[in-house]
Amino acid sequence: MTKKTIEDWQALAEKELKVSPDTLTWQTPEGIAVKPLYTEDDLQGVDHLGSLPGFAPFTRGPRATMYAGRPWTIRQYAGFSTAEASNAFYKRNLAAGQKGLSVAFDLATHRGYDSDHPRVEGDVGKAGVAIDSVEDMKILFDAIPLDQMSVSMTMNGAVIPILANFIVAGEEQGVSRDKLSGTIQNDILKEFMVRNTYIYPPEPSMRIVADIIEYTAKEMPKFNSISISGYHMQEAGATLVQELAFTLADGREYVRAALAKGLDVDEFAGRLSFFFAIGMNFFMEAAKLRAARLLWTRIMQEFAPKKPSSLMLRTHCQTSGVSLAEQDPYNNIIRTAFEAMSAVLGGTQSLHTNSFDEAIALPTEFSARIARNTQLILQHETGVTKVVDPLAGSYYVESLTKELADAAWALIEEVESLGGMTKAVDEGLPKRLIEEAATRRQAAVDRGEEVIVGVNKYRLETEDEIDILDIDNTAVRLSQIKRLEETKRRRDAKAVETALAELTRVAQTGEGNLLAAAVEAARARATVGEISDAMRAVFGDHSAEPKVVSKVYGDSYHDDPEYQMIVSRLSEFKTALGAKPKIMVAKLGQDGHDRGAKVISSAFGDLGFEVLAGPLFQTPEEAADLAISQKVHVVGMSSLAAGHKTLAPQLVEALKAKGADNIIVVVGGVIPRQDYQYLLDHGVAAVFGPGTNVLEAARAVMDLMQGRLRNV
């Protein structure tokens, strides 16, 4: 395009706008300036142009024909309650058009605890299916042929016992491990950054990753040994550049760990897979997947593989959970449809679409059907499968692909300068940057700078209740304990003891493969908890020190009158109280998702509260003891895993039993409105659901404190 033509457009645009069109430039959270107009001039220096699908650097897709040859795999991430209930749910979904299984495990299983462990009373069966032994795994896949069905399992902490149980369940179904297909997430570095369902410290955790890659490379040629996940990073608040950079840097670290085991790169590289979140920035999300393939090829070329497949990035995607809102929830159907289209235009290999009610509770069969049909309609009615790469050559998308790749590469190089991703995680760089980004975005939403329809704009005057799936946690736990007891009664105790001792020996000496030893233990009917504990005895438990970023939320407000009014009110309250108002933000049970807790801690600290960020995985009793010893005025329990009806009342009772019922308890997070009254009836002073404005929450907490002070 000639300079004269561009000048003509600028003049015409200025005439329409009455100001320069430069005022329309949008600064994204990633720091990328998105212009209102892109032309062929913006493609200067875009080196990936001209590449074809199926050829390096695979910007246009890892397969030559992409969806024109075969559509993406439709998956639904699901699991809840017992293995029997989840199995029935899977069968109905498969009959309705789903093509692969993605298993969600409960948090007790994620953290390597059996269902009878006292620390998991509120977690069993709530945010996924409870698996304690091979007996549960066999029921989970009953009458689902594992030689024909691809199974993806989101598991990191207890990855060894879960994969071992899956292998043995396959054997006992008559399917040898070399016939099993699917993916195990096995991405522990991401857990240390954001999701926190780890068990062991980083060094032994990386050994577990490498042992699984080694075992599957030799024994399970159809199985993906790792799914390197950026999804949970974006859910925790990462920008797209951060998600892209840290995910690929994790991948590079895992390749190095596998090579250190003596494997040839071509033995395993083709079975590595990735997992990205797809949010609401439509074109940037599509460009992100294109940039990911481009950069992964660049990274893998460092290891000089001989097979072209070793350079390919293949990915599963899931629509965003954090973009879903509790308010006006049917809007979530529209959000998910746009996100699904973006993932498809970006070239994903498989896709899970979230149900519209997942900001509130586990999906119902009704909501899951809508989510699944979203993909079926995309495949069969929109025509997107007719052309290999519809976005190729777009001035905007190609330019955006390069900008994302360049920005992510700079961050990857920063990680390298620290000594790689394990060192960067140890030093806390990724976690800090992600938490700052999350807090910054929350401030933008609270201020209305980022519009969320139905949340901070176009609000409904009244919200209708929707049907939700409510799991009877007590009944599930009792059912699991009964099967556990029966399994232990029927097994050969000596064989279990011998197998677990061998697993501990492998962990201690470094001789042998942890997964191979765990398979023998699972075959003898050792439980998930027992296998985990056999390694805990050697590796120990990882315990993270909670840290909170500061001056991010407050700096976003500057001289905002409402913000300053709350700061002033807190200062006056401090004088009246004789001390700074003190709040403890608590995470109870095995829920490691701490984005909300960290954002609240950071924002309340900026406002003027003294904030104590409680450690992860506390019991209600431990939280009560800490709150009393630290003389807090308020405990704010953050819940994202559906354990609130068990854990919050237990916390209230624990405080009361210790003579500290003057401490106010409030609860926030993913909590259905139908549960609010239950919590209030059981001693909770206030409930803050998803989408609550932080300043509104701060005002409400101050009102409660002042009311309590007046009544003393």
| pLDDT at residue 702, as a whole number | 92
Quick one: average pLDDT of 597-618?
94
Map out the domains of the chain with their CATH numbers. 6-37 (no CATH), 74-447 (3.20.20.240), 554-706 (3.40.50.280)
In angstroms, how far is CA 304 from the centroid of its own chain?
Answer: 32
Residue 543, burial from CB neighbour count under 10 angstroms (0-12, 13-18, 19+): exposed
152 vs 227: CA distance, rounded Å: 9
| pLDDT at residue 388, as a whole number | 97
Residues 6+ apart with CB under 8 A from 535: 160, 199, 200, 204, 503, 504, 507, 514
pLDDT band at 2 (very low <50, low <70, confident <90, very high): low
pLDDT tens figures, 16-32 = 999 999 999 999 999 99
pLDDT tens figures, 518-546 = 999 999 999 999 999 999 999 999 988 88
Q: Report helix, strand or coil for 339.
A: helix
Nearest to 588 by CA among 655, 663, 639, 645: 639
331 vs 237: CA distance, rounded Å: 21
Q: How far lies 558's CA from each of 293, 484, 563, 606, in Å? A: 40, 57, 8, 11
Mean pLDDT rounded to a whole number for the chain = 93
Q: Could you tell me what percent of the chain has a pLDDT over 90?
A: 81
| pLDDT at residue 546, as a whole number | 82
pLDDT tens figures, 238-254 = 999 999 999 999 999 99
Q: What is the DSSP letter of 104?
A: P
| pLDDT at residue 50, as a whole number | 85
pLDDT of 673 strictly over 90 = no
643 residue type, one letter: G
Q: Report helix, strand or coil for 606.
A: helix
DSSP string, 191-222: IIIII----S-HHHHHHHHHHHHHHHHHH-TT
Q: How many helices and strands in the chain, by DSSP H and E?
A: 28, 16
pLDDT of 592 strictly over 70 = yes
pLDDT tens figures, 317-368 = 999 999 999 999 999 999 999 999 999 999 999 999 999 998 887 788 899 8
Q: Report helix, strand or coil for 355.
A: coil
Of the listed ranges 262-276, 438-452, 548-562, the one predicted with least confidence? 548-562
Q: Could you tell me what percent of the chain has a pLDDT over 70?
A: 99
pLDDT band at 653 (very low <50, low <70, confident <90, very high): very high
Q: How far lies 599's CA from each of 150, 442, 507, in Å? A: 37, 8, 38
Nearest to 548 by CA among 617, 618, 580, 596: 596
Inter-residue contact 623 to 657 (CB < 8 Å): no
pLDDT of 3 strictly over 80 = no
Residues involved in catalysis: 77, 231-232, 587, 591, 593
pLDDT of 135 strictly over 70 = yes
Q: Report helix, strand or coil for 438.
A: helix
pLDDT band at 711 (very low <50, low <70, confident <90, very high): low
Q: In what order do the strands lie in the sheet with 315-319?
A: 223-224, 182-184, 151-153, 100-103, 73-78, 350-352, 315-319, 272-278, 226-229
**ω into residue 690 within 30 of 0, thus cis?**
no
Residues 6+ apart with CB under 8 A from 18: none
444 vs 599: CA distance, rounded Å: 13
pLDDT tens figures, 281-328 = 999 999 999 999 999 999 999 999 999 999 999 999 999 999 999 999
Q: Report helix, strand or coil for 17.
A: helix
Quick one: average pLDDT of 179-183?
94
> Which of the residue ranges 74-78, 412-416, 707-711 has the most confident prediction, judged by mean pLDDT?
412-416
In angstroms, how far is CA 703 from the centroid of its own chain?
Answer: 34
Q: Which residues pair with 453 in a beta bridge?
A: 457
Quick one: average pLDDT of 547-564?
89
| pLDDT at residue 649, as a whole number | 96
| pLDDT at residue 712, as a whole number | 52
625 vs 658: CA distance, rounded Å: 8
